[in-house]
A = this chain, B = another copy of it.
Amino acid sequence: MGFCQIELLRHINKHNMQNGSGKNVLKPMDSEQLREYGHRMVDFIADYYKTIEDFPVLSQVQPGYLHQLLPDSAPDHPETLDQVLDDVRAKILPGVTHWQSPGFFAYYPSNSSVAGFLGEMLSAGLGIVGFSWVTSPAATELEMIVLDWLAKLLNLPKEFLSKGNGGGVIQGSASEAVLVVLIAARDKVLRSAGKNALGKLVVYSSDQTHSALQKACQIAGIHPENCRVLETDASTNYALRPELLQEAVSKDLKAGLIPFFLCANVGTTSSTAVDPLAALGKIANSNEIWFHVDAAYAGSACICPEYRKYIDGVETADSFNMNAHKWFLTNFDCSLLWVKEQDSLTEALSTNPEFLKNKASQANLVVDYKDWQIPLGRRFRSLKLWMVLRLYGAETLKSYIRNHIKLAKYFEKLVSQDPNFEIVTPRIFSLVCFRLVPKNDDEKKCNNQNRKLLEAANSSGKLFMSHTALSGKIVLRCAIGAPLTEEKHMKEAWKVIQDEASFLLHK
């Protein structure tokens, strides 16, 4: 023990003796304390999952609730783990919306799993920061390897594999994925068109595209009037029509603008719409437009041969994104991005300060993922994806996906058998878009009834769904994908929805 620990202990012991305790003083890092406290935290979390169905899925607290419960300033002296865990139970958990609850059907799922959790633990335990290869070669190389594994499971074209100029990288989120490729595409064009051409650059997407693209455009300085948000409707189930893209591109070219980026969707956030990649990609390719495919949610399903068709045409894409943290049992955050030309990314995002120079990087022998992303630092995130792939195996993961889709079909059947409800768009994956259709109500009243129904169902604590709007209609979204969800939960959720609907209709 050096004077560091001795001094610390002296100080802490003094305080704790004053307080009558003195046992179990936590050192900054000590293997046996980590073991003891870590075991207690494992039990706390295991107990949480054991009782997860006892909590209201959507937190029912009011804004500002926690300020009432916690002190105004940090403690001067150590508190015990018991005190902290008591506070987690009494003060934090009531303010938690339980994403892993079997009754969570909002937004899209954000899967946790035993394997994903173990991977997070190991990553936090090793505590490395993997910005350059040399800062932990295993972090960079494992990431390249598991991204290749997954590219093969998805049957992505070989240009996306790490051999050659392509490759995969783990981003924190789909927002960061679309931002880095937008920046790469922007700078590629501006290198020839000149940086004053920024105001001429045009981005294309459907009106169903995730707001992440809008945000990326804001950050990258794309002029808002040059963001073409192409309209979709029920006739294509909210998929983008290639003719519309072609028209827009031609018009912009005639106006002297520079079409440079297209974002297509496989599984939109609102309704899992699937854009026709091959036809869109053809237009993008022939106009030298960077073609990005956002399959954040539905990409996971494409490891099943019967769903692979939804990314047919991905060979025309320049980049492809799927979030393993949504529906692939890998804890948030783990967003997978593949590009065909890593040079475009690194030319836009590289910096090379003296304090980060090292032999391997200077000799160009290695990938330094810092140049593929916004931040410098990065966690060892590939560990959790690797552990998910190994501890479950590809076949189990396919079964996992298929089971959620089966549950969605079951829920869809329940909804469609009730004349008070309608399915709004055909279900493709594990999201069911439906709504209450009260007889003789106009659209506005109908929307209001659906808003009320959603609020009532979510206030029950039994489930949490979210909503969207499609062609002006308020639509309820039941997105199935929590690891613990079973048929009985769908049955229970449907009963709550029917009961609340019945109450609303007869009020």
Contact = CB atoms under 8 A, between A and B. Distances in A.
A2 B487 contact: yes
A253 interface: no
A42 to B, nearest CB: 4
Interface string A475-507: 001000001111111000000000000000000
B45 A355 contact: no
A35 B29 contact: no
Interface in A191-224: 195-196, 198-199, 210-212, 214-215, 218-221, 223
A92 B259 CA distance: 44
- Judged by DSSP, the binding face of A is helix
Contact of A375 (B127, B172, B198): B172
Interface residues of A, number: 178
A456 interface: no
A375 to B, nearest CB: 4
Contacts of A39: 39, 42
A339 interface: no
Given A112-B29, A125-B117, A215-B349, A135 B38 contact: no
Identical chains in the assembly: 2
Which residue of A15, A33, A83, A124 has the most chain B CB atoms within 10 A of its CB atom? A124
Nearest to A454: B358
A66 B355 contact: no
B44 A122 contact: yes
A148 to B, nearest CB: 8
A72 B144 CA distance: 11
Nearest to A212: B376
Interface string A281-311: 0000000000000000000000000000000
A81 B118 contact: yes
A272 to B, nearest CB: 12
A2 B489 contact: yes
Given A96-B139, A195-B199, A198-B221, 12 more contacts: A4-B404, A31-B49, A34-B114, A38-B45, A63-B360, A70-B142, A76-B394, A78-B390, A78-B396, A110-B128, A173-B376, A183-B219
